[in-house]
Structure 1
Amino acid sequence: MDNFARLLKESWALVEGDRDRLGEYFYARLFLLDPTLRQLFPAEMAGQGNRLLDAIVTAIQVMDDVESFEEYLRSLGRDHRKYHVDAGHYETAGIALLDALRTTAGDGWNLEYDHAWRDTYAAITEKMGAGAAADENPPFWHAEVLTHERHGPDTAVLTVRALQHPLRWRAGQYVSVEAPRHLPRVWRTYSVANAPNDDDVLEFHVRTPPGAGWLSGVLVRRTKPGDLLRVAAPMGSMTVDRSSERDILCVAGGVGLAPIKALVEDLATWNRTRWVHVFYGDRRAEDLYGLAGLRELVAAHPWLSVTPACSQDPDFGGEQGDVVEVVSRYGPWTTHDCYVAGSARLVRNTLRALAGDDVPPAHVRYDTFGEL
């Protein structure tokens, strides 16, 4: 695995600067090899290539940790059941991926890279297939929208109830969501914003700033109670280690509050000895849509503290500055378990700050939707 990881990372460096071309070539080749696969994808393919590349980047990032790598692939296999893919589809996609990598890399590609990708892809699809085969749940759950609250022009908090089958997740995980009436076959991942419950009710926090995907716009502006969504199998490893006795640091930016809120709600059901420090930041006070709910949790649990921060609001009465800067001012966090959620920039900067505090990487958890 070590040699394969080195070869994969070396070869990926040849193509990562030309991702659009890589994605376009992959899908063109895929649909040429098997035109029937086109019906599995949305009518509008803009951005679809980036989702493929995000999955590849995530796999490369975690493959050094064998246990995390295998769990990620099993989860990915379970998640792909929503597309109704089979072994033949995986084989075709492998051919298309290798062709796309060779073409995009050009003269820098060599036989060693080819063998590494071929063997690794075979191992990946085997573990994905095993994860899918072992899953006794449906490929996806139908879910009814129960509530929908707008917070400003671009943010919404909604709750949904899974129908027909129980849906079990762990606090800190995320799921794929589809709005079939508005955008069939368009799936996007959203963190579950509440702790597991017996009512199969999930909460989502959705923001649709300029450049956000179409599905987020649908969920914020066009979704209402009574609508039906589809929700796929839970994924992600940003869950609390209950065996640890270390105190906890949580850093959330924007709607990255969602998984942090779920973690705190879950901790509220069993934690008695660990101090939990939540830092929650955004640009302006009105963007801190979840602050009132966090303060209610603080009032109920003496082990919890919440420090809000605004980076572009001089009138805000709390901490001023980027939330990562604020976290650094309150550190060091060397002896804490750390959980980070937000934009790729926020996660990247927080990881750098925690590394400066000598926080062991094994004590930091986050989920990456793309490259850091």
Structure 2
Amino acid sequence: MNRPSSPYASQPEEEREPTATPAAPSAAQAPLSDREISLIRASVAVVEPLAADMTVYFYAILFTRYPDVRPMFPPGMDAQRGRLLRALLRIVDLVDDPGGLVRFCGHLGRDHRKFGTLAAHFPAVGECLLAALARFAGPAWNADVAAAWTKAYGAVAQLMISAAEQDAAARPAVWPATVVHRLSRGHGIAEITVRPHLPYAYAAGQYVSLETPWCPKQWRYYSPANAPREDGTLTFHVRAVPGGTVSDALVRRTAVGDVLRLGPPMGDMVLDAAVHSDLLCVAGGTGLAPIRALIEEVARRGGRHQVDLFFGARTGSELYAVNDMLRMAQRHHWLTLRGAVSHEHVPGIRGSLPHVLAEYGPWYQHDCFLSGPASMVASASETLTFHGTLPDHIHHDPFETPVLSTR
């Protein structure tokens, strides 16, 4: 399943805006007060309509004031600016959810090791971020707002630094991996299998960032389509999309013997999150990859779950791995497969996945794992919730993390 690059990468006019400069974060940060949270959210509401210009300004002053960080970023910055904004908005969403904030910032901190991010970069990033916020918030920016943002940024930076330091003590920042097999699946999809040079521990359902030798510093997220194997290999399903530099390079140029680089595994859509013995798995397009890995994991654990898999696509021919999944269903009595096609009259089930789920439900006694285009995941989640499935039993990657960008 295609994934986007990290939304926040190491962000470490020259006329500077008057604003507080975040100090290096301390080990113990007091929680944000309700008033500070309100000030932060109110300021974001002011700058959000100007977000595209604000992120351009942020990176401009960051690279001007701290030119040594520029080589850490790819030459083209358009996609990177959007990722910064998504991460910023996600952090604001989580400022009153300490557990969620710790998890999100921990993921960011660990993931940013691959960019070469160091603790010393954080004050520079904070300084330029607050300068950009101050400029675009205009009259809504004052000393109290600046203080609230300084405190919030200090807490975020400390969480990221701590997570990165703990991670550095346990494993490398990146894993070189040699391509050992490549198979064309048609419709611009390639199945690429790699063998990491060092042991690579992950859980079925997680996703991994990849960097190719043809697009240095451009990382994209893809899900392994297999549960962990004894030989350590990982298989990815990659779809080339128009204008997608990394996906196109992976599909069109990758050959056996090429060396890619992997970032650390991320994501919480794993089998251990399930509380029910019955599972509903819903996959759209190359979203089948992590779902297939989860099904393999159920098999590895002895088939202790009953699994209903719905696999959807626009046309029958785009159900690219349906034969593989049918063979899995023949081997495992606990697995039921249904394919759904939304834009073509073919034998079988016709309709969008959310519509089909409503027809075959209810699913309130199942744990539900969803993977595919963000719009499909959102719609399927709404359908399941409407028909009685508890939100805690619906598992998918956070929209602001995958957003299923395929470039």
**TM-score normalised by the chain length of structure 2:** 0.84
* Distance change in 2, residues 1:344/1:57 (3 Å): farther
Letter in 2 for 1:73: C
Letter in 1 for 2:104: Y
* Distance change in 2, residues 1:356/1:55 (3 Å): same
| Contact in 2 for aligned 1:344/1:370 (Cα 8 Å) | no
Match for 2:71 among 39, 52, 58?
39
Aligned pair 1:336/2:343, yes or no? Answer: no
| 1:162-212 deviation line (CA, Å, top 9, x unaligned) | 00x210001111111101x2111111111122101232211111112235x
Q: Which stretch shows the higher mean deviation, 44-53 or 131-140? A: 44-53
**Superposed counterparts of 1:98-247, under 5 Å:** 98-135=130-167, 136-163=170-197, 165-179=198-212, 181-211=213-243, 213-241=244-272, 244-247=275-278
Aligned to 2:14: none
Letter in 2 for 1:53: L
Letter in 2 for 1:325: H
Letter in 2 for 1:329: E
* Structure 2 gap segments, 5+ residues each: 1-31
**Superposed counterparts of 1:277-292, under 5 Å:** 277-292=308-323
Aligned to 2:341: 310
| Contact in 2 for aligned 1:58/1:368 (Cα 8 Å) | no
Offset at residue 69 of structure 1 (A): 2.8
Distance, in Å, in 1 between the alignment partners of 2:209 and 2:335 is 30
Q: How many residues align?
A: 368
Match for 1:49 among 81, 91, 106?
81
Distance, in Å, in 2 between the alignment partners of 1:96 and 1:27 is 8
Higher alpha-carbon Rg: 2
* Distance change in 2, residues 1:358/1:102 (3 Å): farther
Distance, in Å, in 2 between the alignment partners of 1:330 and 1:63 is 39
Offset at residue 264 of structure 1 (A): 0.8
Match for 1:356 among 372, 376, 386?
386
Distance, in Å, in 1 between the alignment partners of 2:366 and 2:33 is 30
Aligned to 2:28: none
Bigger RCO (CA 8 Å, 6+ sep) = 2
Offset at residue 323 of structure 1 (A): 1.2
* Distance change in 2, residues 1:19/1:293 (3 Å): farther
| Contact in 2 for aligned 1:26/1:100 (Cα 8 Å) | yes
Aligned pair 1:25/2:40, yes or no? Answer: no
Identity %: 39
SS of the residue 1:15 aligns to:
helix
SS of the residue 1:349 aligns to:
helix
Distance, in Å, in 1 between the alignment partners of 2:33 and 2:379 is 27
* Distance change in 2, residues 1:17/1:149 (3 Å): farther
* Structure 1 gap segments, 5+ residues each: none
Match for 1:91 among 115, 123, 127?
123
Aligned to 1:252: 283
SS of the residue 2:271 aligns to:
coil
SS of the residue 2:265 aligns to:
coil
| Contact in 1 for aligned 2:195/2:233 (Cα 8 Å) | yes
SS of the residue 2:272 aligns to:
coil
Q: Which stretch shows the higher mean deviation, 75-84 or 97-106? A: 97-106
Distance, in Å, in 1 between the alignment partners of 2:270 and 2:394 is 11
Distance, in Å, in 2 between the alignment partners of 1:14 and 1:343 is 30
Letter in 1 for 2:203: R
SS of the residue 2:201 aligns to:
coil
Offset at residue 223 of structure 1 (A): 1.0
| 1:255-287 deviation line (CA, Å, top 9, x unaligned) | 111111111111111154422111111111111
Letter in 2 for 1:219: L
- How large is the Cα RMSD of the aligned pairs? 2.1
SS of the residue 1:307 aligns to:
strand
| Contact in 1 for aligned 2:274/2:367 (Cα 8 Å) | no
* Distance change in 2, residues 1:105/1:152 (3 Å): farther
Letter in 1 for 2:248: G
| Contact in 1 for aligned 2:181/2:193 (Cα 8 Å) | yes
Offset at residue 238 of structure 1 (A): 0.8
Offset at residue 369 of structure 1 (A): 4.9
Q: Which stretch shows the higher mean deviation, 100-109 or 220-229? A: 100-109
Offset at residue 109 of structure 1 (A): 4.1
| 1:303-340 deviation line (CA, Å, top 9, x unaligned) | 111111111111x2221111111112111222211111
| 1:86-123 deviation line (CA, Å, top 9, x unaligned) | 11211111122222223333334455543333222211
| Contact in 2 for aligned 1:144/1:227 (Cα 8 Å) | yes
Letter in 2 for 1:355: T
SS of the residue 2:300 aligns to:
coil
Letter in 1 for 2:292: K
Distance, in Å, in 2 between the alignment partners of 1:55 and 1:161 is 31
**TM-score normalised by the chain length of structure 1:** 0.92
SS of the residue 2:120 aligns to:
helix
